[in-house]
Amino acid sequence: MIRQYDLVERVRAYDSKADEGALNRAYVFAIKAHGSQQRASGDAYFSHPIEVAGILTGMRLDCATIVTGLLHDTIEDTETTLAQIGDLFGDEVARLVDGVTKLSRLELQSDQTKQAENFRKLLLAMSEDIRVLLVKLADRLHNMRTLHHVKDAEKRRLIARETMEIFAPLAERIGMQAMKDELEDLAFSELNPHARDSVIARLDFLREQAGDPIPGIIEGLEKTLAEAGIKATVLGREKQPYSIWSKMESKNVGFEQLSDIVAFRIVVDKMEQCYEALGVVHGAYQMVPGRFKDYISTPKSNGYRSIHTTVIGPESQRIEIQVRTAEMHEFAEFGVAVHWHYKDQSGKLRRREGRQYRWVRELLEILEHASGPEEFLEHTKLEMFHDQVFSFTPKGDLIALPRGATPVDFAYAVHSEVGDSCVGAKINGRMKPLRTELQNGDQVEIVCSQTQAPSPTWERFVVTGRARSRIRRFIRLQRRAQYVDLGRSIVQKAFRQIKQRFVKEPLDRARARFRHKSLDDLYAAVGEGVITGRQVVEAAFPEAKLKTQKAMSQAGRRARSGKAGDLAVPIRGLIPGMAVHIAGCCHPLPGERIVGIVTTGKGVTIHAIDCDALESYADIPERWLDVAWDIDPKHPEIHVGRLTVVITNEPGTLGSLSNVIAKNLGNINNLKITSRSLDFFEILVDVEVKDVKHLTNIIAALRATPAVSSVDRARA
Ligand code: MN
Identify the residue with better confidence: 558 or 661: 661
Distance from Cα 598 to the centre of ligand 1, integer Å? 57
CB under 5 Å of ion ligand 1: residues: 73, 139
Torsion of CA 144, 147, 153, 156, to 10 degrees: -20
Phi first, then psi, for residue 239 (nearest 5°) are -70, 155
Q: Is the pLDDT of residue 5 over 80?
A: yes
Alpha helices (H) along 211-290: 214-227, 241-251, 271-284
Please report the pLDDT score of residue 577 as a whole number. Answer: 52
Distance from Cα 122 to the centre of ligand 1, integer Å? 15
Q: What is the C-alpha radius of gyration for the chain, rounded to an integer number of angstroms?
A: 34
Strand, coil or helix: 598 = strand
C-alpha span between 161 and 163 (Å, rounded): 5
Please report the pLDDT score of residue 347 as a whole number. Answer: 33
- CB of 657 within 8 A of CB of 682? no
Q: Is the pLDDT of residue 255 over 70?
A: no
- CB of 583 within 8 A of CB of 613? yes
Please report the pLDDT score of residue 323 as a whole number. Answer: 94
Q: Is the pLDDT of residue 346 over 60?
A: no
Please report the pLDDT score of residue 386 as a whole number. Answer: 41
Estimate the share of the chain in helix, then strand, then coil, as percent rounded to the nearest 5: 55, 15, 30
Mean pLDDT of 644-657: 86
321 forms beta bridges with 264, 309
Identify the residue with better confidence: 508 or 600: 508
Q: Is the pLDDT of residue 654 over 80?
A: yes
Question: What is the 8-class DSSP label of residue 288?
Answer: P
683 forms beta bridges with 645, 673
C-alpha span between 501 and 14 (Å, rounded): 83
Return the minimum-mean-pLDDT range out of 102-111, 350-359, 502-511, 696-705: 350-359
Q: 422 Cβ partners below 8 Å, 6+ apart?
A: 407, 408, 411, 434, 446, 447, 448, 452
C-alpha span between 214 and 209 (Å, rounded): 14
> Global pTM?
0.51
Kindly indicate the confidence band of residue 185, based on its pLDDT and cuts at 50, 70 and 90: very high
Mean pLDDT of 399-409: 85
Kindly indicate the confidence band of residue 704, based on its pLDDT and cuts at 50, 70 and 90: confident
| Amino acid of residue 514 | F
Distance from Cα 50 to the centre of ligand 1, integer Å? 10
Whether 566 sits among the annotated catalytic residues: the reply is: no
Q: Is the pLDDT of residue 383 over 50?
A: no
Kindly indicate the confidence band of residue 145, based on its pLDDT and cuts at 50, 70 and 90: very high
- CB of 488 within 8 A of CB of 569? no
Distance from Cα 137 to the centre of ligand 1, integer Å? 10
Distance from Cα 140 to the centre of ligand 1, integer Å? 7
- CB of 282 within 8 A of CB of 319? no
Kindly indicate the confidence band of residue 578, based on its pLDDT and cuts at 50, 70 and 90: low
Torsion of CA 400, 406, 407, 410, to 10 degrees: -30
Please report the pLDDT score of residue 530 as a whole number. Answer: 82
Mean pLDDT of 279-303: 84
Q: Structural domains in the chain?
A: 4-195 (1.10.3210.10), 200-339 (3.30.460.10), 356-472 (3.10.20.30), 475-629 (no CATH), 639-713 (3.30.70.260)
Task: Give the up-direction half-sphere exposure of residue 499: CA atoms within 13 A in the CB hemisphere.
Answer: 4
Please report the pLDDT score of residue 140 as a whole number. Answer: 94
Q: Is the pLDDT of residue 315 over 50?
A: yes
Kindly indicate the confidence band of residue 94, based on its pLDDT and cuts at 50, 70 and 90: very high
- CB of 400 within 8 A of CB of 356? no
Percent above pLDDT 90 for the chain: 21
Kindly indicate the confidence band of residue 525, based on its pLDDT and cuts at 50, 70 and 90: confident
Strand locations in 374-486, DSSP E? 388-392, 398-402, 422-427, 430-432, 444-448
Whether 76 sits among the annotated catalytic residues: the reply is: yes
Residues 76, 128, 612, 650: which is the catalytic one? Answer: 76
Strand, coil or helix: 401 = strand
Please report the pLDDT score of residue 88 as a whole number. Answer: 94
Please report the pLDDT score of residue 56 as a whole number. Answer: 93
Report strand pairing: 430-432 vs 422-427. antiparallel
Please report the pLDDT score of residue 116 as a whole number. Answer: 58
689 forms beta bridges with 639
Strand, coil or helix: 184 = helix
Kindly indicate the confidence band of residue 359, based on its pLDDT and cuts at 50, 70 and 90: low
Q: Which of 47-61, 206-220, 443-457 has the highest mean pLDDT?
A: 47-61
Mean pLDDT of 344-369: 47
Identify the residue with better confidence: 173 or 161: 161
C-alpha span between 492 and 625 (Å, rounded): 12
CB atoms within 10 A of CB 81: 11
CB atoms within 10 A of CB 270: 10
Residues 43, 77, 330, 622: which is the catalytic one? Answer: 77
Identify the residue with better confidence: 190 or 339: 190
